[in-house]
Amino acid sequence: MTETGPILLSETRGHILVLTINRPERMNALSPELSDALIEAFVEAGADPDVRAIVLTSVGDRAFCAGADLKARAQEDAAGKPFQPLLSRVQRYVFEVVYETIKPTIAALNGSAVAGGLELALACDMRVAAEHALLGLPEAKRGKGAHFANVMLPRMIPSGIAYEMLYLGEYIGTEEARRWGLVNRVVPRGEALNEALRMAEAICENAPVSLRRMKETAIRSNGLPVPAALRLNEGISPYSSEDRVEGIRAYVEKRKPVWRGR
Residues 168 and 240 in one domain: no
Q: Is residue 244 part of a domain?
A: yes
Least confident of 84-93, 115-124, 214-223: 84-93
pLDDT in tens, 194-221: 999 999 999 999 999 999 999 999 999 9
Binned at pLDDT 50, 70 and 90, residue 1 comes out as very low
Mean pLDDT across the stretch 111-123? Answer: 97
The percentage of the chain sitting over the pLDDT mark of 70, rounded to a whole number, equals 91
Q: Is the confidence at residue 144, as pLDDT, over 70?
A: yes
* pTM confidence score: 0.90
Q: Which residues share a beta bridge with 54? A: 17, 105
Q: Looking at per-residue confidence, does 58 or 233 come out higher?
A: 58
Mean pLDDT across the stretch 133-158? Answer: 94
Residues 50 and 151 in one domain: yes
Mean pLDDT across the stretch 227-252? Answer: 90
Q: Is residue 261 part of a domain?
A: no
For residue 175, give the nearest of 138, 137, 136, 132 by alpha carbon: 132
Mean pLDDT across the stretch 84-103? Answer: 82
Question: Rounded to whole angstroms, how far apart are CA atoms 132 and 191?
Answer: 11
Looking at 139, 164, 170, 175, which residue is catalytic? 139
Residues 85 and 62 in one domain: yes
Mean pLDDT across the stretch 140-144? Answer: 89
Question: Rounded to whole angstroms, how far apart are CA atoms 148 and 258?
Answer: 38
Residues 175 and 239 in one domain: no
What local confidence, expressed as pLDDT, does residue 68 receive? 79
Q: Is residue 42 part of a domain?
A: yes
Q: Is the confidence at residue 89, as pLDDT, over 80?
A: no
Residues 197 and 241 in one domain: no
Is 139 annotated in the active site?
yes
Question: Rounded to whole angstroms, how far apart are CA atoms 139 and 120?
Answer: 14
Residue range(s) defining the domain that contains residue 27? 8-204
Considering Cα of 28, then 31, then 37, then 42, what sign does the dihedral take?
positive
Sequence-ordered alpha helix ranges (H) in the chain: 32-47, 70-78, 94-100, 116-123, 139-142, 147-156, 159-168, 174-179, 192-204, 208-221, 226-230, 242-252
Residues 36 and 52 in one domain: yes
Q: How many domains does the chain have?
A: 2
Residues 115 and 183 in one domain: yes
- What is the distance, to the nearest Å, from the Cα of residue 214 to the centroid of all Cα atoms in its chain? 16
Q: Is residue 218 part of a domain?
A: yes
CATH, residue 91: 3.90.226.10
Residues 200 and 222 in one domain: no
Residues 22 and 92 in one domain: yes
Q: Average per-residue pLDDT in the chain?
A: 91
Binned at pLDDT 50, 70 and 90, residue 5 comes out as confident
Q: Is the confidence at residue 87, as pLDDT, over 80?
A: no
Q: What residues have CB less than 8 Å from 141, skipping those under 6 apart? A: 169
DSSP 8-class letter at 17? E
For residue 234, give the nearest of 258, 257, 210 by alpha carbon: 210
CA-atom Rg of the chain in angstroms: 19
SS3 of 179, please?
Answer: helix
Question: Rounded to whole angstroms, how far apart are CA atoms 198 and 49?
Answer: 20
Binned at pLDDT 50, 70 and 90, residue 73 comes out as low
Mean pLDDT across the stretch 136-155? Answer: 93
pLDDT in tens, 8-63: 999 999 999 999 999 999 999 999 899 999 999 999 999 999 999 999 999 999 99
